[in-house]
A and B are shown apart, each in its own frame.
Chain A
Amino acid sequence: MKRIKPLPNTRNGISKEDRRRKRNEFLIDNSLYFFLTAAIVGIVIYDPRFLSVPSLVNILSLSAANLPIALGIAGCIILTGTDLSAGRVVGLVACVSASLLQMTGYPNKMFPNLPTLPLWAVLILVLLMGATVGLINGFCVAKFKLHPFIVTLATQLILFGILLMYLMNGNNNGQSLSGLDPSYTNFITGSVLKIGSTAIPNYVFYSIALTALMWFVWNKTTFGKNMFAVGSNQDAARVSGVNVTATIIGVFALAGLLYGVTGFIEAARIGSNSAATGLNYELDAIAACVIGGVSFVGGIGKIRGVILGVVLLRIIFVGLTFLSIDSNLQYVIKGLIILIACAIDMRKYLVRK
């Protein structure tokens, strides 16, 4: 058999022009990292407190809170889909968790006669809720061959309606849910680890554990491999004996479960939950995914990309506040960053000409 002659990597035999092109490509391919470094350096020069422990822990916590929902949506994007219902699932789950875990004797308690429920029972209930919504989304996508955009646009509306009706329950009458049981808030926002005098909230660790679990699912299980295969070429996956329907439903259900986690954390993190909780969370999550290289091309994405995307987006948000940039302008900058990041990402999948 003839061997393919590899291109020499050494300086010999490569023209100056080639080297320059290679260098440019390297710069563009890794531009996210350069940009991140430059942004941090810039902000630090303006205000060194950006790198202080409380500020860093703040970025870490905010990233951790947003990571589970992004990990869920990433799976949907890998299937060339998306999930617009994510934010509303978070909102519904947050409100249900909050209403079931209000402290006894709180004046506006939604269910005044409800005894203090064990945390785990509520957690399981809300995880099931999230997974059920995901299951329905996935079922409609897989069985009715609808585009996830349409399916989740519809379920998102339905969920919002349900949420508004739920908030009218009992004594609540549509108001925000607060007065959470201390066992709940402690479990989520309490802290067992301090850096100096800054406490790291517990949910950061839950989020890290969940991320590790998701890395495992994506990379070490049949389900993960099948997910990438279906995202890359659904017809070929079917011919290859992949259970396409089960895979799609599984990915959406898993995503729903992760939104459930986000909602459970979010309720305690915010403390006061209303119909606006979770609003547009899916958009930040989708943005984080695409910035991190989870491509709408399908079949492409890495956990570390999702993490990078979430953290990068968070650094930008926090950084812009540090630079005391007008909050209206922040939206414009956010939009531009998403555009540029995706344009750079897309370069990798174009056939080089």
Chain B
Amino acid sequence: MDEILLTMTDVCKAFPGVKALDHAHFTLKKGSVHALMGENGAGKSTLMKCLFGIYAKDSGEIRLQGRVVDFKTSKEALEQGVAMVHQELNQALKRTVADNLWLGRYPTRFGMVNEKKMQKDTKALFERLGISVNPNAVMESLSVSRRQMAEIAKAVSYDAKVIVFDEPTSSLTGEEAEQLFRIINTLKQQGCGIIYISHKMEEILRICDEVTVMRDGKTVATHPARDLTVDKIIRLMVGRDLTQRFPPKTNVPQETVLSVRGLTGLYSHLRDVSFDLKRGEILGIAGLDGSGRTEVLEALFGLSARKKGEIRLQGRPILNRTPRDAIANGFVLLTEERRATGIFAIRDILENTVISNLPAYRRLGVLDHKKMKQDTDRMIRTLRVKTPSRRTAIRTLSGGNQQKVILGRWLLTEPKILLLDEPTRGIDVGAKYEIYQLILDLAAKGRSVIVVSGEMPELLGICDRIVVMSGGRVAGEVDGKTATQEQIMTLAAKFA
């Protein structure tokens, strides 16, 4: 049981301007689940990428079962029994599940791909893990959680000794997560070492044996999970006391500003959605994956076509046919998929910040660069974006910092209604708290906020009211102060 599978010692890695890993340590025992925790940018993902050969470490040593290894490619790592389930899935979306699973090592027969064997092996693997995914489904057509299950199956199929899970549950529903935990437990029984990266404390304390915390590229501590509490972990992660997970509520809802009646999607399954939003209110939208919670925001913002439905802003009917319309009406939307629809990866922070507010900098057709720089610097300061400079390409920032830049982009447009889709997805506790504080401050200043989230504690922590979606319809509404998770779950299952 206490046999050492993997040791990483004194691993260093520097990127231009940032020291991502500073003599980091990590030890993984056989047959155990080891959590790797830390704020965004603490170096968890970088450490794992160094292990996996995605990044070349600058210095340090990695031993797998006592043998020094230095993988140059992820393929090499896989072949030696080190697999990783990535946070951001890199899959060939136009290909089938089975194709993706055996990509790079198709079973062949007489030089041709042996489809039959592929099918058989895939089915056997899925049965063993209790995964119900059609091997012939095209990846693109599956939900994120299904795709992730396929990814996990792929890792397992390599007979991996070490499997890294990078935030596997961030897009899973409760039930799917349970299934994942069962799979992890099976792997553990078989003697695998699991490295589990997550921000969800309860989950970690439940399934992990050991916890290693990183901060600023250094390993802070490793403790058995049974000796830890949520508060202790947070303290280790942020290096200071964080008494509460949610800031105190300071906003007071006023009169109704937005009323939505009978919102029905033309191509989505959204049906007859009605609700009101008050000035200075934070309204949560809860629901399972596929319940239509994201679609509500997209329909409101003019990103998806509406069949019918009325939107009234301060009593005045508005159309919001396109995002441009919506922005002109004082709406903003923070999307769920940061990389796909949020950031301009190769452009710098300044351009990413000002893009939605360009008309404000225009004088006689010329953009005022000085003002754009001032505004960008102000946003970097007030939102506390960790970056070497405003000229840095946004793709080099961590997820939390990218999220702050996009928030900054929207704040510059002085919005009345903020639509936030999973605002804290993939963001660490410290930064989460900051984002909650920001949302509350905005509401306290009289802005109205709609937060969509799959994390119920988050909604209960900051929302005044919560609308629960189920099967594209509104299943009910609960009060943020008095509701319980059970109540929300019951509603969420109503039309599912």
List the B side residues contacting A241 at CB < 8 Å: 323-324, 326-328, 356, 413
B contact residues around A4 at 8 Å (CB):
17-18, 386-388
Stretch at the interface among B163-171, B282-290, B359-367: B359-367
A238 to B16, CA, bound (A): 31
Q: Please, which residue of chain A has its CB at the minimum distance from the CB of B39? A: A2
Are A222 and B323 closer than 8 Å at their CB atoms? no
The stretch of A148-156, A184-192, A229-237, A316-324 that contacts the partner chain: A229-237
**A221, B367: Cβ atoms closer than 8 Å:** yes
> Complex formed: what's the CA distance from A137 to B345 in Å?
27
Q: Which of B331-349 contact A (CB under 8 A)?
A: 333, 335, 340-347
Contacts of B366 in A (CB 8 A): 220-221
Contact B340 A235 (CB under 8 A): yes
Known A4-B17, A222-B359, A222-B362; contact A243-B324, beta-carbon cutoff 8 A? yes
The verdict on B117 contacting chain A, using a C-beta distance below 8 Å, is: no
Which of B328, B367, B387, B409 has most chain A Cβ within 10 Å? B367
A232-B365 contact, Cβ under 8 Å, with A239-B323, A241-B323: no
Quick one: given A220-B367, A353-B56, are A225 and B386 in contact (CB under 8 Å)? no
Interface residues on chain B, number (Cβ under 8 Å) = 44
Cβ–Cβ contact B346 & A299, under 8 A? yes
A344 to B341, CA, bound (A): 29
Q: CA A256 – CA B18 in complex, angstroms?
A: 44
B391-413 with Cβ < 8 A to chain A:
409, 413
Q: Taking A4-B388, A243-B324 as contacts, is the C-beta distance between A229 and B351 under 8 angstroms?
A: yes
Known: A221-B366, A241-B356. A7 touches B17 (CB 8 A): yes
A16 within 8 A of B: no
Q: State A228–B358 Cα separation when bound (angstroms).
A: 13
Q: For A7, what are the chain B residues with a Cβ–Cβ distance below 8 Å?
A: 14, 16-19
When distances are taken between beta carbons in the complex, the residues of chain A under 8 Å from B367 are 220-222, 225
B54 is an interface residue with CB less than 8 A from chain A = yes
A106 to chain B minimum Cβ distance, whole angstroms, is: 43
Q: Interface code B181-208, partner A: CB below 8 Å = 1, 0 otherwise?
A: 0000000000000000000000000000
- A352 CA / B395 CA spacing, docked (Å): 13
What 1/0 mask marks residues of chain B from 23 to 57 whose CB sits below 8 Å from any chain A CB?
00000000000000000000000000000001110
Partner of A2, one of B54, B55, B216, B341: B216
Tell me which residues across on chain B come within 8 A of A297, comparing CB atoms. 346
Find chain A residues with CB under 8 A from B359 CB.
222
CB of A5 closer than 8 Å to a CB of B: yes
Restricting to A191-247, which residues have a CB under 8 Å from any CB of B? 220-222, 225-226, 228-229, 232-233, 235-243
Separation of A232 and B352 alpha carbons in the complex (Å): 11
Confirm or deny: B94 has a beta carbon within 8 angstroms of a beta carbon on chain A. no
List B contacts of A6 (CB < 8 A): 17, 388
* Interchain CB contact under 8 A, B323 and A238: yes
In the bound complex, CA of A220 to CA of B355 (Å): 13
Asked whether any CB of chain A lies closer than 8 Å to the CB of B384, the reply is yes
Q: Which chain B residues border A222 with CB–CB below 8 Å?
A: 358-359, 362, 367
Among residues 298 to 343 in chain A, which have CB atoms less than 8 Å away from a CB atom of chain B?
Answer: 298-300
A144, CB-defined interface residue at 8 Å: no
Shortest Cβ distance from B301 into A: residue: A239
> Is the CB of B303 closer than 8 A to any CB of chain A?
yes
Interchain CA distance A221-B363 in the complex, whole Å: 10
Beyond A7-B14, A225-B358, A239-B323, is A232–B384 a contact (Cβ under 8 Å)?
A: no
Question: Contacts of B15 on A, CB cut-off 8 Å?
Answer: 352
Cα(A238)–Cα(B355), bound, Å: 11
The answer to whether A236 touches B358 (Cβ under 8 A) is no
Residues of B close to A349: CB separation below 8 A: 346
| Residue interface bits A281-301, CB-to-B below 8 A is 1, else 0 | 000000000000000011110
Would you give the shortest CB distance from B57 to chain A, in whole angstroms?
A: 10
Contact with A along B355-379 (1 / 0, CB 8 A): 1101100100111010000000000
Closest Cβ–Cβ distance, residue A19 to chain B (whole Å)? 14
- Cα separation A1 to B369 with both chains bound (whole Å): 28
On whether the beta carbons of A353 and B355 are closer than 8 Å, the reply is: no
Known: A4-B17, A6-B17. A240 touches B323 (CB 8 A): yes
A233 → B minimal CB distance (Å): 5
| B369: A residues at CB distance < 8 A | 220
Docked pose: A117 CA to B424 CA in angstroms: 66
Which one, B17, B344, B354, contacts A236 given CB within 8 A? B344
- How far, in Å, is A339 (CB) from chain B's closest CB? 23
Binary flags per residue of A4-28, CB closer than 8 Å to B gives 1, else 0: 1111000000000000000000000
Contacts of B351 in A (CB 8 A): 225, 228-229
Distance, CA A225 to CA B351, complexed state (A): 8
CA distance A300 to B395 in the complex (A): 14
**Distance of A225 Cα from B368 Cα, bound (Å):** 12
**Shortest distance from the beta carbon of B442 to any chain A beta carbon, whole Å:** 19
Q: Is the Cβ of A229 less than 8 Å from the Cβ of B355?
A: yes
A240 pairs with B355, CB closer than 8 A: yes
Contact A237 B17 (CB under 8 A): no
- B347 adjacent to A239 (CB under 8 Å): no
Nearest CB of chain A from residue B108's CB, rounded to whole Å: 30
Q: Knowing A233-B343, A297-B346, A299-B347, say if A240 contacts B384 (CB, 8 Å).
A: no
Nearest residue (CB) in A for B354 is A225
Interface contact B55-A236, CB-CB below 8 Å: no
Chain B CB within 10 Å — which of A222, A232, A239 has the most? A239
Min CB distance A225 to B, Å, is 6
Within 8 A of A (CB), among B234-259: none
Contacts of B301 in A (CB 8 A): 239
Evaluate contact between A226 and B358: CB separation under 8 angstroms.
yes
- A174 and B366 alpha carbons, distance in the complex (Å): 47
A7 to B367, CA, bound (A): 34
Contact indicator B54/A353 (Cβ below 8 Å): yes
Question: In the complex, A245→B304 CA distance in Å?
Answer: 16
Closest CB of chain B to A226's CB: distance in Å? 7
Alpha-carbon distance between A233 and B409 when the two chains are bound, in angstroms: 15
Known: A233-B345, A240-B355. A353 touches B55 (CB 8 A): yes
Interface hub of B328, B351, B413 (most chain A Cβ within 10 A)? B351
CB distance from B378 to the nearest CB of A (A): 15
Residue of A232, A235, A236, A240 ringed by the most chain B CB atoms within 10 A? A240
Shortest distance in angstroms between A295's beta carbon and chain B's nearest beta carbon?
A: 9
Known A241-B356, A299-B346; judge A1-B384 contact (CB<8 A).
Answer: yes
Residues of A within 8 A of B341 (CB): 233, 235-236, 238-239
Q: In the complex, what residue of chain A is closest to B338 when comparing beta carbons?
A: A236
Query: With A and B bound together, what is the CA distance between A235 and B326 in angstroms?
Result: 16
Q: Which residues of A contact B55 (CB under 8 A)?
A: 353
In contact, B333 and A239 (Cβ under 8 angstroms) = yes
Q: How far is the CA of A299 from the CA of B393 in the complex (A)?
A: 12
> What residues of chain B lie closer than 8 Å to A220, measured between beta carbons?
366-367, 369
Question: Which listed residue, B347, B356, B388, touches A228 by the CB 8 Å rule?
Answer: B347
Question: Which residues of B have CB within 8 Å of A229?
Answer: 344, 347, 351, 355
Give chain B's interface residues, CB within 8 Å of chain A: 14-19, 54-56, 216, 301, 303, 323-324, 326-328, 333, 335, 340-347, 351, 354-356, 358-359, 362, 365-367, 369, 384, 386-388, 409, 413
The 8 closest A-B pairs by CB, nearest first: A232-B344, A241-B327, A222-B358, A235-B341, A240-B356, A241-B324, A233-B344, A240-B355
Could you list 6 A-B pairs, sorted by A, with CB under 8 Å? Answer: A6-B388, A220-B369, A226-B355, A232-B346, A238-B323, A299-B346
With A228-B351, A353-B54 already in contact, 10 other A-B pairs whose C-beta atoms are closer than 8 Å: A7-B16, A7-B18, A220-B369, A225-B354, A233-B344, A236-B344, A239-B335, A239-B342, A241-B327, A300-B346
